[in-house]
Amino acid sequence: MTSAPTVSVITISFNDLDGLQRTVKSVRAQRYRGRIEHIVIDGGSGDDVVAYLSGCEPGFAYWQSEPDGGRYDAMNQGIAHASGDLLWFLHSADRFSGPDVVAQAVEALSGKGPVSELWGFGMDRLVGLDRVRGPIPFSLRKFLAGKQVVPHQASFFGSSLVAKIGGYDLDFGIAADQEFILRAALVCEPVTIRCVLCEFDTTGVGSHREPSAVFGDLRRMGDLHRRYPFGGRRISHAYLRGREFYAYNSRFWENVFTRMSK
């Protein structure tokens, strides 16, 4: 029997011991016949987190608690310490939706080629918002047009693919996860799973962004990779600016009506 792929779960954390404990519990509840190595990169949260990480039994494949350059720098550090065939980024306070999620993801990749060269995603549940998201089927054009957002915590990436496309681009700030996903999508189509894989904590940075930031990042991604949803740069930028204007006005009037109803 072929051995099951090793899965590296990378968790970043900062000043969130309760959330970190929930995430660790979720990872350790996985019923997977292969090996799961859990890597925790904490941004230097203090003695309580150090005591927790050092006292966990069994221990982690790797952990550290020291200042870093932000979430994506921490995630790149996690990549550097990962030895698995498949990488999964599950941040502090986020959880797998059930005990068989890792096994389900590996099974979905089975027969599609070397696991280390593939990537895929499922759906996530936005905790507190009673909403499920996951753009299935995936469309690169819709992604570039801002009509699809791939749930990063419900995504998994082969280690060879990550080595090929490189780590997270820190210059993209909070949108670096979607730019990373775009690079993966330009190499190969994702394998998709039409079910919830992750419970996503919506209180984190990046959960609520202004339309100007969202669509500005999309324009910058298109320019960087010379890929546009409608072929040419000019028409694609005009479309994205139109969507930005519509989103801004929708939010403005929603706020007005909310205040009037109080």
pLDDT at 253 over 60: no
- The rounded percent of the chain whose pLDDT value lies above 90 is 82
**What region, left, alpha or beta, does residue 173 occupy, with left being phi > 0 and alpha being psi -120 to 50 degrees?**
left
pLDDT tens column, 90-104: 999 999 999 999 999
Tell me the CA distances in angstroms from 71 to 2, 35, 75, 109, one per residue in order.
35, 26, 6, 28
- pLDDT confidence of residue 247: 81
Q: Which residue has the higher pLDDT, 246 or 40?
A: 40
- pLDDT confidence of residue 251: 59
| Nearest-angstrom CA–CA distance, 80 and 183 | 19
Residue 53 binned pLDDT confidence (cut-offs 50, 70, 90): very high
CA 41 to chain centre: 15
- pLDDT confidence of residue 231: 85
Residue 245 binned pLDDT confidence (cut-offs 50, 70, 90): confident
pLDDT at 136 over 90: yes
Average pLDDT, whole number, for the chain?
92
Tell me the CA distances in angstroms from 41 to 60, 69, 97, 143, 160, one per residue in order.
11, 12, 22, 29, 21
- pLDDT confidence of residue 15: 96
Q: Which residue has the higher pLDDT, 254 or 71?
A: 71
| Nearest-angstrom CA–CA distance, 105 and 86 | 10
Mean pLDDT of 102-123: 98
pLDDT tens column, 31-50: 999 999 999 999 999 999 99
Mean pLDDT of 114-142: 94
pLDDT tens column, 183-237: 999 999 999 999 999 999 887 655 567 888 999 999 999 999 999 999 899 999 9
Q: Is 157 helix (H, G, I), strand (E, B) or coil?
A: strand
Q: Which residue has the tokens 């389900």?
A: 104
Tell me the CA distances in angstroms from 191 to 12, 33, 104, 112, 230, one per residue in order.
25, 21, 12, 9, 24
Residue 260 binned pLDDT confidence (cut-offs 50, 70, 90): very low
CB 241 within 8 A of CB 216: no
- pLDDT confidence of residue 204: 60
